[in-house]
Amino acid sequence: MQWDPQLQFPDTQQWHIFFPIRKLPSFWGLVNSAWNLCSVGKRQSPVNIETSHMIFDPFLTPLRLNTGGRKVSGTMYNTGRHVSLRLDKEHLVNISGGPMTYSHRLEEIRLHFGSEDSQGSEHLLNGQAFSGEVQLIHYNHELYANVTEAAKSPNGLVVVSIFMKVSESSNPFLNRMLNRDTITRITYKNDAYLLQGLNIEELYPETSSFITYDGSMTIPPCYETASWIIMNKPVYITRMQMHSLRLLSQNQPSQIFLSMSDNFRPVQPLNNRCIRTNINFSLQGKDCPNNRAQKLQYRGMFHHQNNPFYAFTELLPFETSRGITRHTNKNA
């Protein structure tokens, strides 16, 4: 099966023709006037998350995932820049709660990963990267007809981000995507492969805690219409699965091999944006100009060892739930 370029976000098909993936972001705002936000935007993503600056927001509600109690199917693509899993329209997956006023529908899952284990994620935690990042892209189906319309519009998108780490075991959902029989079907740009019987709930780590901030998509045109939700526990893939990802090519078989790895955008300035969390610290911040919460008063409390995720997961002394709320209501 071949990749359909129309399934990509608008105006992104030609971004990697002339430069390797890692060289591109600094050129985005220059090569296309429609991508101007990539250079001049003030709410761009990804960002570096400093745990000492996070703000507890008591108004953040639990995330609610509604799969209708069914498994889903989707097509996995090599877009030349990402491993992308596009869900079919037969079985819908919606998410609500958290910072969301509206319900959002899952459209696509993207994988970012590095050429080395020390890099690969788009977001950083206390200045350090993870081996990869899973991004679940949702659009506001209550206000907009499709993801293309929502991407250009206020309150249009929600992206749930989950860090990836290399381990001896593998997340069951990612194991379906990254097993050898599947991943070798999308070695080259435009390759595609159908996956069936996927359980989205298996992708989420066992935590109800997250952070959130307002940002943009990390690809051109970099519309600033996305709310980001970053789960505070990672998912795991094996070293062999990470190696298989690094063997994917940006190019078609007739072209020179360029690994898809390091397909992350560098972090962007935070510009006084608030990074909120539902983790209830012993101290509580004041009002923020944008989100009824402001800079935190517990600077420097959360620097543990040299492990970037250790600092985040250690902020869980008040957590009582082991995961997000799962709903099977087909009408929710």
Enumerate the active-site residues: 144
Q: Which of 224, 241, 95 is nearest to 164 (CA)?
A: 241
- Supply 176's token pair: 């379906």
Rounded Cα gap, residues 218 and 224, in angstroms: 10
Rounded Cα gap, residues 308 and 290, in angstroms: 27
Q: Where are the alpha helices (DSSP H) in the chain?
A: 28-31, 37-40, 147-151, 172-178, 180-183, 239-246, 308-313
Q: Which of 266, 308, 258 is nearest to 115 (CA)?
A: 258
Question: Who's near 237: CB < 8 A, 6+ residues apart?
Answer: 131, 132, 164, 165, 166, 167, 170, 171, 174, 175, 178
Rounded Cα gap, residues 161 and 232, in angstroms: 9
The three-class DSSP label of residue 150 is: helix
